[in-house]
Structure 1
Amino acid sequence: MDNPIRWKQRFENFERAYAQFVKIIDIPELSDIEKMALIQAFEFVFELFWKTMRDYLEEEGFELDSPKKVIRQAFQSQHVTNAEIWMEALLKRNNTVHNYNPKIMEETVAFIKEQFFPQVRDWYFAFKKEFKE
């Protein structure tokens, strides 16, 4: 990798998006507009997650050109604990970017709150330790 601190710069961007994501996720009863904001924040967080991991893994010598490959390698390298949830997040992100459907919105909000958030929170705190080293 040409710039060994690229993943650190990307992680700083992730942190800013994650801070906004947490503010929305903590709202108990979301209006439709807040649900849309949560989904948008999820899309930002997911995008910055996989790009941060790609840059980090490239520094470790891996050549990864897609989110699926990054998720698989992050799991094999024990940076994430549940590859299935991350793969599902990729599918949800791809679906929400291109479609607006109230049923999909409700399913996605439930997925984000119940499955994705615990995974991304755990990854964030573990990776933050790596960032400080």
Structure 2
Amino acid sequence: MDIEKLEEKFLNYSKALSRLKESLERDESDDIVLDAVIQRFEFTYELSWKLLKAYLSFNGIAEVRTLREAFKEAFAAGLLNEGNVWIDMLEDRNRTSHTYDEAEARAIYEKVKSEYYTILHHLKESIGRELE
């Protein structure tokens, strides 16, 4: 992994995070906004672990193959402080991908808005500082 690929993954993640923020700022009474937030959350979450994988590889910390390995190694390396929240996000991301239940979607939307976005943003800040 070279620095250009890592920076590209960081840029893609940053863009996805920005799009998630945009959707969170819209009127949540519109069902389309709820759907957009969940879809953007799923996409941003996928990019987060790919960014972590690239970062860990670039820094020679670990070669990870799975999402759980990436989070475990990133937590051990001090990139993530909220290990349990990342696992909660994984579980919610998996729930949104396999079924659609409006009450569950609303609950996940609330978690994205109140907690998950902040955690995802912290990852951007942590890796951004490392890339400066």
Q: One fold, TM greater than 0.5? A: yes
**Partner of residue 88, structure 2:** 88
- The answer to whether the 8 A contact 2:71-2:83 is kept is yes
1:13-54 deviation line (CA, Å, top 9, x unaligned): 111111111111123534211000000110111111110010
Give 1:1-133 correspondences, 5 Å limit.
1=1, 3-27=2-26, 29-61=28-60, 62-131=62-131, 133=132
Closer, same or farther: CA 19–91 of 1 in aligned 2, 3 Å: same
- The answer to whether the 8 A contact 1:38-1:109 is kept is yes
Q: 1:103 deviation in Å?
A: 1.6
Q: 1:127 deviation in Å?
A: 1.9
Superposed CA RMSD:
1.4
Identity of aligned residues (%): 25
| 2:129 aligned partner, one-letter code | K
Counterpart Cα distance in 2 of 1:125 and 1:26: 20
Aligned length: 131
1:35-93 deviation line (CA, Å, top 9, x unaligned): 00000110111111110010110122201111111111111111111011111111111
More RCO (CA 8 Å, sep 6+): 2
Gaps of 5+ in 1: none
Closer, same or farther: CA 95–60 of 1 in aligned 2, 3 Å: same
Counterpart Cα distance in 1 of 2:29 and 2:126: 29
